[in-house]
Structure 1
Amino acid sequence: MSSDDSCENPPGSCFICHQPSSDSCRKSNHDETVYFCSKEHERLHSGDKTSSCFPYRVTKSHQVGRFLVASRKILRGEIIFQELPGIVGPNPVVSSPICVACYKQVGPRSSCPKCGFPLCEESCERDHGFICEHLHRFGIDLTPEEMCDSSILHAILPLKLLLSKESNPHVYNCLSILMDHREDRLNDPEYLEGIQTPILKSLERSLSTYSTDELLKALGIVEVNSYEVYNLTGHSGFRGLFCLTSLLSHDCVPKRRPIIGHETPYGLTMISTRNINEGEILSINYVHTQKPNRIRRRTLKDNWYFECSCKRCEDEAEFGLHPDAIWCDSCQEGLIKPSHKGIYCCDKCSREKSQGCIEDLIESLESQKAEIDRQDVNQYLELYRRSSVLLGENHYFLNSPRRWIIPLFCRPLTSSPRLVPSPDMLRDKIQLCEGYLRLLNKIEPGLSKNRGKVLYEWAECSLKLLNVRGGGDKDLLVSIRSALKESLACLEHEQHPSFEYTLGKAASKTLILVNEFIGNH
């Protein structure tokens, strides 16, 4: 959200950055005139290819600043808005050397002759020219290994934000008024020691004309509002700041999701996953939806400094899923569930366990998972079966092996290229898919990416089992067709060449075959 304290947009000012504006939207169906200061900001309001405005408006309150609401009823699958990142920079968690221009992985000997930072080709040497001088100041007396240190990489995105004030003021005017949570972070010793202090030193070395307050604000904006951007290989070598997306509120069961392109310019498309009523606050999930209340709420408090009060967080049972519950090892019948006091208690025999005991169990399972080869589906299956004896059927840990097992199971792999799955294997996979879907239907309902993938896997596997049995079950075929249609709707906007895009194409081809078969019988 925005840090702007005012609840009123000044008359005749840009709807998104508040700069003085004379141009207004001629196709707007809003009650109030919408002004914009530039073509770039006009595109945030109505895009390039649409004949009408995007179905949102910017609203303000004293409590939370600026946020987005639906300006009309939005149907599921609709595009709410599209935008390009204002700036893109490296992800500080990347361990291998990356090009500071395009953020691809590079060899250890590739570097700019001026600033010394890694580059991958001549065009990147030209592209990073406007920050080269500042990177040179960063890198004085640093070894090539030290240039890949997280505190150095961490400083590049706030550096680019500050430099955009001169190089791209339309971008800077949008991003500079986003929330930075400076005051909250100053009370966080771990953040001060681990991130702020070392990064601030790098920024002060490069940007001597900026005050400490300006540097801290830029760093805070980046920390609160940046999104990971994934390249074609699925690795996140960089982060981006998106103006509109940063104004979205949080909900643990969101009704919209972003799809970010895997190639430059890394455009973002925000789609609705369910129907949205006019006036409804537009939100996404800041944290992983498949984590339980205990972890989600702590992460939100630690990183965004608020207590979530959405319907899911207010429901101790989390829609009856109990994703943090384990089977009772005392009575062998009940579930040991978390309580408000931080103690886990069995719902049958009242046996208690401490939160630390529960966390130790999950940590042990996580360690076992970390040792598994990601392509070894049999090891994942074994871990899943062992864990299922200990954990409740909807426990959040089980989702991780499920996500790896479902796309690999019953498919030829490098280790077994001629695999022909048996009927029992097919039934096991179908059961896995159905269990996962029951969970996703509650915490990621509608056109979520995960639902789209699992629905396709269920449909494909069910079709294979039907063929093994000799066909003839028209009701099952109709269910398969319905699942494929829903999968296609979920994956419609996925971008080439992502795995989800490939699944969407496969779902489309399979749907044609199923329709033909139903039509002929």
Structure 2
Amino acid sequence: MSDIVCAECGEPAELKCSACKLVAYCGKEHQKKHWKTHKILCRPFEIAEDPEIGKCLVATRDLKPGDTILAELPVVYGPRPHMVEEGPVPCPGCCRLIIGESSARCEGCDFPICNPDCKGLKDMDKHGHECMILGLRDIRAINGLHEFYRQDVLLALRCLLLQNRQPKKFAQLMEMESHMERRGENTEVYKDIESRVVSYLLDNFFAPLRILEGRSGKQVLQDVSRETIHKICGIIDVNALEINQDAEVSALYPTAYLMEHSCVPNTTHLFENEPNGYKITIKAALHIQSGEHITTMYTHCLWGTQARREHLRETKYFSCKCKRCCDPTELGSYLSALRCIGTDGEPCGGTQLPIDPIDDDTEWACDKCNVKLTNAEVCFLVNGIGEEVDNVQLSNPTVRELDALLNKMLTFLHQNHYHVYAVKHSLIQLYGYQQGYTPSQITDDCLIKKATMCRELLDITRKVDPGNARLPLYLGVILHELYLANWIMIKRKWDRGIKTKVKSVVLMLQESQHCLEQVREVLKNEINTPAGEKLISLIETSTKEFNKFIERNKIDLSAPIKEKAKEDETENEETKENGT
């Protein structure tokens, strides 16, 4: 008989709570019945009040990587705002981008839609309720321009509609941080929101709505004041999460928004697709001890400290002081480091690092000589290089163009700098693919260079994202490209008769196998993303090819590599014989 018993009736049970795994039930009926009691203990965290950051989530028990911390549906979600000038706009019914020459319009409000049969258009929890208000707009008054998608209007309107439809959700929403004290009337963000969202809603929709409400005696929206709309826009800016999977969505979650920021987050999160309501599941990415704060990341993991902190100040209104930001080397990654240019044009070979990285006016000092730079000088240099990198990357560059840019950058930037990382990440994806560098054309030297870059990028990525919380796609690409670099070289050596008796071939085979094993684990949460699906498909093809090769040649990769000088001699002799 099983020692595990139902928490409700005491009978033997096998159905464990999927969230905490701490209790079991004999069936779903008793699990549902016991939920009122268990939900207090189920979540492995509590909401605490921190004097510096306000409300936050704190672990109430030790958590290991992979443990589920929280799973919840959004309070509200809607299409992620798009500027009309930037291309396709999202459909208000399904949030998918309208691609191509579609001229379909919603019959109720005349807004662009993906097609007239879109189910979301008639769903009252999606477009249904808002459609009536949007249909009040006088198209003639604004020259027929569908400028709706130039602002966060749709999501803001959906938030306002919660007032009467779901008042409890509206109350949850209004408790979220808006930072209105930083978005006052004299700020640029206030003026922008006032003209693009608040006045637009009030003049085109709410003014005619009030006339209708007066005639019918029924109030559709209780509060459409400027103050409330501004606050909702602040809440969206500060707390909304972006989902780019089957559609482009912004969503507000009732508990997840309380996670504080860290540039080394200890959680990862994944979203389910639209049929499951964009449910978010948050899991531990690193070991989290009881009493430790549960964190996420609100900026780009592959930006340097200055860029990350500036972005956080502008969008989230705080200055980060996490362990990565406080470390001049960024956890040994040197992602912001410069090469010292020395004096009189003679480089000393040293590395320039900020003396105090969380001081915006810090000096940068060389670790080998006395040369120092001001923060303003560093910003000017890095921003200039960043603009050049962006321009080259957007021009569909060749391998030679990226190689030339990389060599130029390395005069001023550390080999691990985030601008260098970006160019190397692009290069490893061109080696082996672009004309002149296809598998049959690429030289051995280029393959060795590609593999070396991959290993360098792997080291940096693991240092800045040790829990694989933010960079699974970057890491997945690097691992697969390292496999491909090895694979082309292995097949060449095999064709030349240099086989597993040579140490280098065995090492490449083992590294290739390790890459394929790792990449599947790295991408396990990316199955709902278009990029993830594509990469996983490529990896499955590579894995089949690799396994067939191992089986056909009866190679045992579990055997240890013998460290014998004569093997190296054999390799050298066979290399000479084959002209390699």
Aligned-residue offset at 1:73: 2.8
Q: 1:27 to 1:185 in 2, by over 3 A?
A: closer
Does residue 387 of the first structure (1) align with residue 409 of the second (2)?
yes
CA gap 1:400/1:78 in 2 versus in 1, 3 angstroms? same
Residue in 1 aligned with 2:490?
466
Aligned to 2:352: 336
Which residue does the alignment assign to 2:178? 180
Residues 436, 442 of structure 2: 8 Å contact kept: no
Report 1:78-89 matches (<5 A).
78-89=67-78
Does residue 487 of the first structure (1) align with residue 519 of the second (2)?
yes
Are 1:98 and 2:90 an aligned pair? yes
Which residue identity is paired with 1:110? A
**Which residue of 1 is the match for residue 445 of structure 2?**
424
2:234 is the counterpart of 1:217: no
Higher Cα Rg, which structure: 2
Of 454, 477, 497, 1:433 maps to 454
* 2:130 corresponds to: 131
Distance 2:309 2:266 in 1: 19
CA distance in 1, matches of 2:339, 2:174: 49
Deviation of residue 196 (structure 1)? 4.1
Structure 1 pair 244/139, CA: closer, same or farther in 2 (3 Å)?
farther
Select the residue among 278, 293, 296 that pairs with 1:266: 278
| 1:257 alignment counterpart | 268
Residue in 2 that maps onto 1:361? 381
Question: What's the counterpart of residue 12 of structure 1?
Answer: none
Q: Following the alignment from structure 2 to structure 1, what is the Cα–Cα distance between the partners of residues 284 and 18?
A: 25
Q: CA deviation at 1:407?
A: 3.0
Work out the CA distance in 2 between the residues paired with 1:518 and 1:144.
70
Cα deviation per residue 1:54-98 (whole Å; 9 max; x = unaligned)? 544433445544322334332223333333333222333443343
Larger mean Cα displacement after TM superposition, 114-123 or 427-436: 114-123
CA offsets 1:147-190 (integer angstroms, 9 cap, x no match): 2452xx31221110121233344543433321111112227612
Check the 8 A contact 1:377/1:404 in 2, yes or no. Answer: no
Deviations 1:454-493 (A, max 9, x none): 2232233223323322342434433433333332221112
SS in 2 for 1:58: strand
User: Do structure 1's residue 323 and structure 2's residue 368 form an aligned pair?
Assistant: no
C-alpha distance in 2 between matches for 1:55 and 1:374: 48
Pairing 1:216-255 to 2, within 5 Å after superposition: 216-232=230-246, 237-255=248-266
Equivalent of 1:293, from 299, 302, 305?
305
Letter in 2 for 1:142: I
Q: CA offset at residue 438 of structure 1? A: 1.7
8 Å contact 2:82–2:149 — kept in the other structure?
Answer: no
Report the TM-score, using the length of structure 2 for normalisation.
0.72
1:434 CA drift (Å):
1.2
Task: State the 1:118 CA deviation.
Answer: 1.4
Paired residue for 2:61, among 56, 62, 72?
Answer: 72
In the alignment, is the contact (CA less than 8 A) between 1:251 and 1:283 conserved in 2?
Answer: yes
Distance 1:419 1:144 in 2: 56
Alignment partners' CA distance in 1, 2:304 and 2:392: 24
Return the letter of the residue paired with 2:303. K
1:110-134: CA deviation from partner (whole Å, max 9, x where unpaired): 3234423212222344242210122
Q: Which residue of 1 aligns with 2:425?
A: 403
Conserved? CA contact 1:139–1:147, under 8 Å: no
C-alpha separation in 2, matches of 1:374 and 1:74: 46
Distance 2:523 2:405 in 1: 29
Q: 1:138 to 1:366 in 2, by over 3 A?
A: farther
Counterpart AA for 1:337? L
Give aligned-pair identity as a percent. 23
Asked if the contact 2:329–2:336 (Cα under 8 Å) also holds between the matched residues in 1, the reply is no
| Cα shift readout 1:383-442 (whole Å, capped 9, x = no counterpart) | 22322232111212122223323333213x589777543322211111111111121121
Give the AA of the match of 1:99: C
Counterpart of 1:147 in structure 2 is 147
Equivalent residue of 2:526, what SS? coil
Distance 1:410 1:80, change over 3 A: farther
**TM-score, normalisation: structure 1:** 0.80
The match for 1:3 is none
**Counterparts in 2 of 1:406 and 1:29: CA distance versus 1, 3 Å:** closer
What is the identity, as a one-letter code, of the residue corresponding to 2:115?
E
- The match for 2:215 is none
SS of 1:483's equivalent in the other structure is helix
Report the equivalent of 2:464. Answer: 443
Determine the structure 2 residue equivalent to 1:351: 371
Q: Distance in 2 between matches of 1:485 and 1:26?
A: 26
* Secondary structure, aligned partner of 1:259: strand
Q: Distance in 2 between matches of 1:511 and 1:73?
A: 36
Deviation at 1:509, TM superposition (A): 5.8
What number of residue pairs does the alignment pair up? Answer: 476
Structure 1 stretches lacking a partner, 5+ long: 1-24, 32-38, 47-51
CA distance in 2, matches of 1:159, 1:53: 34
Distance 2:18 2:534 in 1: 39
**CA-to-partner distance for each residue in 1:3-60, whole Å, 9 max, x for gaps?**
xxxxxxxxxxxxxxxxxxxxxx9997899xxxxxxx9xx79x97xxxxx945444334
Of residues 301, 323, 341, the one that matches 1:311 is 323
Deviation at 1:139, TM superposition (A): 6.0
The separation in 1 between residues aligned to 2:523 and 2:170, in whole angstroms, is 33
For 1:289, the aligned partner's letter is C
- State the one-letter code of the partner of 1:422: T
Aligned to 2:154: 156
Residues 139 and 325 of structure 1, relative CA distance in 2, 3 Å threshold: farther
SS at match of 2:364: strand
Alignment of structure 1 residues 504-515 onto 2, 5 Å? 504-507=536-539, 510=542, 513=546
Which of 526, 533, 536 is matched with 1:501 structurally?
533
The correspondence of residues 194-209 of structure 1 with structure 2, limited to 5 A, is 194-205=192-203, 206-207=205-206, 209=222
Structure 1 residues 159 and 497: alpha-carbon distance in aligned structure 2, compared to 1, 3 A threshold: closer
Paired AA for residue 499 in structure 1: A
User: 1:444 offset after TM fit, Å?
Assistant: 0.7
